[in-house]
């Protein structure tokens, strides 16, 4: 199972919006609406930010939103803040009890 493709890095100024793409195949991202997104700060465990493509867990800022079109999912961060810096990973259920993660995107706030 190949990793989902994400851009290596995305940057933006405070207050701007950025979008991170996550491209897979019809066997993973395109098959079910079960893409999730995780934020990871250096030396920390990943944190769930988006699940089922568009849903936000309780406590996650509404500046984070998700979408999907075909085999590509996207995470948008609006009103970019310094605390949003970190690594972001998408994840999709792939086959029976197998998951695949994205390659990861480093977000930098300029």
Partner 1 sequence: QVQLVQSGAEVKKPGASVKVSCKASGYTFTNYFLHWVRQAPGQGLEYMGIIRPGDGSTSYTQKFQGRITMTRDTSTSTVYMDLSSLSSEDTAVYFCAREQERDFWFDPWGQGTLVTVSS
34 binds partner 1 (CB under 8 A): yes
Place of tokens 């934020």: 39
Out of 22, 24, 39, 51, the only residue in the binding site for partner 1 (CB under 8 A) is: 51
DSSP state of 1: -
Distances (CA, A) of 14 to 10, 11, 18, 102, 108: 13, 10, 10, 25, 10
Among 48, 56, 76, 78, interactor with partner 1 by CB under 8 A? 48
Q: Which two three-digit tokens encode residue 86?
A: 């970190």
CB of 22 to partner 1, least distance (A): 12
Q: Which of 57, 79, 81, 83 binds partner 1 (CB under 8 A)?
A: 57
Q: Which residues bind partner 1 (CB under 8 A)?
A: 1, 3, 32, 34, 36, 38, 45-48, 51-52, 57, 89, 91, 93, 96-104
């Amino acid at each position: 199972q190949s990793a989902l493709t994400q851009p290596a890095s995305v940057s933006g100024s405070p207050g701007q919006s950025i979008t991170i793409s996550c491209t897979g195949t019809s066997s993973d991202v395109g098959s079910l609406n079960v893409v999730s997104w995780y934020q990871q700060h250096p030396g920390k465990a990943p944190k769930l930010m988006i699940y089922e493509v568009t849903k936000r867990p309780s406590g996650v800022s509404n500046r984070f939103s998700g979408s999907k079109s075909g085999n590509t999912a996207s995470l948008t961060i609006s009103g970019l803040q310094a605390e949003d810096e970190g690594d972001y990973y998408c994840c999709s259920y792939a086959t029976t009890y197998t998951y695949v993660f994205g390659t990861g995107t480093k977000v930098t706030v300029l």
